[in-house]
Amino acid sequence: QVQLVESGGGLVQAGDSLRLSCAASGRTFTAYVMGWFRQAAGKERDFVAAISWSGYNTNYADSVKGRFTISRDNVKNTVYLQLNSLKPEDTAVYYCAASERANVWRLHAGTVDSWGQGTQVTVSS
């Protein structure tokens, strides 16, 4: 399995931006569809975005389309999530995810092979 370590979370104000990073190690990075999920307090872990091994295909939850951008660097074995125009409802723990089983349109919590430890994003109004 691949090991994932997120970074880049923090406390920001509404309208601000953040960039999350997820560094992968242990297996061939390009074997995986990579994604981001988030979990707000007391709620389920929800899909946010996914990117194919090549970076050519991406998929986003409706709630973040046009504001968040997922990308990957296959040389650095890192996937990124750029969060723009942040809203208080974006507050959550953000988790990096890797899957060998799903494509970008079918990535969900049940098809994730490896999870990162999570990074907190808090957006104040």
> How confident is the model over 76-88, as pLDDT tens digits?
999 999 999 999 9
pLDDT of residue 30: 86
Q: Averaged over 83-109, what is the pLDDT? A: 95
As given in the structure block, the two tokens for residue 119 are: 């990074």
- Summarize the confidence of residues 66-75 as an average pLDDT: 97
Looking at residue 26, what is its pLDDT? Answer: 86
Band (94; pLDDT cuts 50, 70, 90): very high
Of the pLDDT bands very low, low, confident and very high (cuts 50, 70, 90), residue 1 is confident
